[in-house]
Structure 1
């Protein structure tokens, strides 16, 4: 059986009349004259197939059919109001779901303050936080399985994505505490030439990997890689276990592991960048709010 197509205006008129039980007061509340109100009620009764009100001199009452319809009519109007409010909230970026990829080491730097700021400004937005290394973030952004990425050493140019630097930090040497160089406050990079290295695999972050190996090459040696580890905490743990040394972003010093020493390196001019990444020309209000929280709003661009 086909469902009747009932305009919401008719349901609204019905609910108001059911509450007032007086055509004059109901019409005034609706801001219309009595004849249009009577017409709307008649049309609704025609679709229901039964009278909804008993009309008696000086008195209006609900029929059994009217009493049965009233709760459903109220629910329909409430559901519509709730749906409109939810749609407006999502459309303005006050609600919805924002998927954020982040490199694990950023939990030591920009991520906590960023999430705290965003949650304070937009408590109605659900944050879907996904830990992943830089290269998978780029793929996820292009595949639209995340909305924003926080990563290290983004590509210089990308046709599909945009990047903005949010942090720049120097490198430190990660050494076993028993390593002879751990006794020095500053380690000349060339003195690491004879030590095995523990590094992230290149596939996890090609730009950062190439930057670290390039620093070693500039110091006169190719790093002898003894072990790979996907996360910086694991890199540090393996270094502490004596498997090798590493070069890492300075924020890694916040990882407190026994048996690990962090030392400044010379030359100390090289820095690693942390960037926020998003799909080029994405004008989602949620993405715009996140970018504003890290100090960059794409809507400010010409």
Structure 2
């Protein structure tokens, strides 16, 4: 059944009369009658019982009416989408992000993006730094929200989104001194649970150097490639960790957070947006513009 034929069937069903349906469709009644007769011949079944009072659906007509409505709705939605894409209002944007982007940056930008591009399909992919770099180079994501510095073998734009100080994550049962802080020596004594070197090599190097500069030899006792995994390891007593201060928003059973009393030399935890540089404006450009709006 063609879309034009489905519109005729639906109009007749809703109007209850070929005359009123023809007026609603802007057609001459003989043309509508011919369309219906041709459709019924092709299908080998009567869809309407015509009387002097109008046209009533047969059992066969009633059986297909919901399918006709649904098919037309899908066809109209597809047409609207095509027009929106042609006008640059709709399309698809795939965003990769590290866990720390979900606390504030990503939700705020998504609200703004949905308001400005309501027909845009948005795909979200939580990924590590290394996974995002690979996906960005391969074109599998359009925007990466990650921790710099990273090297990308592609022409990209970068926008720094801010930085946070590092706070300690330690088992909830560990007692804190009156000031509620811990020292680098405490962290070094328990060992660090942290991200693998291939994820944030530069930050890892800077962090270990800060411990050495303060006179403490610290070991990475457990690698974990996601923040929740890091916290689970801390809760299990495998070691302590250092994470950006926004992690406090993530309540994890068995973990508590504390400021580092002598942590001034620790590197900041930065967040950046990276997206491929194109010769024409893209949805990634529009999304990036909303990150600090």
1:280 to 263, 267, 277: 277
1:267 aligned to 263, 266, 273, which one? 263
Equivalent position of 1:161 in the other structure: 156
Matches within 5 A, 1:85-96: 86-96=81-91
Write the distance in 1 (CA, Å) between the matches of 2:277 and 2:212. 34
8 Å Cα contact 1:212-1:247 kept in structure 2: no
1:190–1:281: structure 2 CA closer, same or farther, 3 Å change rule?
Answer: farther
The worse-fitting range, judged by mean Cα deviation, of 137-146 and 273-282 is 273-282
Q: Is the 8 A contact 1:200 1:231 kept in 2?
A: yes
| 1:239 maps to which of 234, 257, 260 | 234
Corresponding residue of 2:57:
none
Q: Does 1:295 align with 2:292?
A: yes
> How big is the shift at 1:172?
0.3
- In 1, the alpha carbon distance for the partners of 2:122 and 2:238 equals 38
1:211 aligns with 2:206: yes
CA distance in 1, matches of 2:77, 2:160: 40
1:249 Cα offset (Å): 0.8
| Structure 1 equivalent of residue 174 of structure 2 | 179
Instruction: Confirm or deny: 8 A CA contact 2:195 2:225 kept in the other structure.
Output: yes
1:1-302 correspondence to structure 2 within 5 Å: 86-155=81-150, 160-179=155-174, 184-265=179-260, 266-268=262-264, 270-281=267-278, 283-295=280-292
- Unaligned runs of 5+ residues in structure 2 are 1-24, 40-73
Once residues 182 and 259 of structure 1 are traced to their aligned partners in structure 2, the CA distance between those partners, rounded to angstroms, is: 18
CA offset at residue 154 of structure 1? 3.3
Cα distance between partner residues in 1 of 2:169 and 2:26: 75
Asked whether the 8 Å contact 1:172–1:249 carries over to 2, the reply is yes
The size of the alignment, in residue pairs, is: 237
**How many Å separate the matches in 1 of 2:38 and 2:140?**
44
Q: Please state how far the C-alpha of 1:246 moved relative to its aligned partner.
A: 0.9
Alpha-carbon separation, structure 2, partners of 1:156 and 1:67: 64
Change (3 A) 1:80 1:225: closer
Aligned to 2:51: none
CA RMSD of aligned residues (A): 3.5
TM-score of the superposed pair, with normalisation by structure 2: 0.68
